Amino acid sequence: MATEFSFDIVSEVDRMEVKNAFNQAVKELSNRYDFKGSPASIEESDKDIVIAAEDEFRLSQVRDILFSKLIKREISAKMMTYGDIEPAKGTTVKQTIKFREGLETDEAKALNKQIKDEKFKVNSQVQNNQVRITGKSKDDLQKVMQFVKALDLPYTVKFTNYR
């Protein structure tokens, strides 16, 4: 049996759930009567989603369709970054939606400092784009999890590799 237990704090989206929400939004957009014959579209590119429509009002409607599907799939709004509205081909406009991948170094260091300031009986360290928490007691680790969940962070966190 291990003498030390650990887990990682990460900030990432489930890419499969994003793909499912994307597919549902595309299907709803194609079936909506008010978008029949409209150049409105939702496209996936690498790690981003690009939405397009004939004007900003229609673009906001397409964004709402996608957003509602993402929320139903439990993808937090904190994990999305909306780009600027840009002109696209013809008279249409487009907007890129990016999804957060991992903790930034500054964010990880700040989270690490908050955990250390609480004087838990655990060790915490920043590793790449995550924070690793180790301790001798699972109860101490669970106290850290509860503390992190209670923080008002500008991103969502997940706890992985609980051992």
Separation in Å, CA 128 to CA 98, 113, 131, 149, 160? 20, 16, 8, 21, 15
Same domain, 84 and 121: no
Average model confidence (pLDDT) across the chain: 87
The half-sphere exposure of 92 on its side-chain side, counting CA atoms within 13 A, is 16
Separation in Å, CA 149 to CA 16, 85, 153? 24, 34, 9
Same domain, 122 and 56: no
pLDDT of residue 1 exceeding 60: no
Predicted pLDDT of residue 106 = 86
Same domain, 81 and 124: no
Domain end marker among 67, 99, 131:
99
Domain end marker among 81, 99, 117:
99
Give pTM, 2 decimals: 0.80
pLDDT of residue 2 exceeding 60: no
pLDDT of residue 62 exceeding 70: yes
Range of the domain at 129: 5-11+103-160
pLDDT of residue 89 exceeding 70: yes
Chain mean position to CA 157 = 9
Same domain, 124 and 82: no
pLDDT in tens, 13-59: 888 999 999 999 999 999 989 888 888 889 988 788 999 999 899 99
Dihedral over alpha carbons 18, 20, 26, 31 (to 10 degrees): -140
Predicted pLDDT of residue 51 = 93
Tell me what percent of the residues of the chain surpass a pLDDT of 70. 99
Same domain, 63 and 137: no
Residue 46's CATH number? 3.30.70.990
Same domain, 37 and 84: yes
Tell me what percent of the residues of the chain surpass a pLDDT of 90. 26
pLDDT of residue 68 exceeding 90: yes
Same domain, 112 and 75: no
CA 149 – CA 39 distance, rounded (Å): 42
The whole-number average pLDDT for the span 69-82 is 90
Chain mean position to CA 73 = 11
Count of C-beta atoms within a 10 Å radius of residue 49: 23
Predicted pLDDT of residue 97 = 93
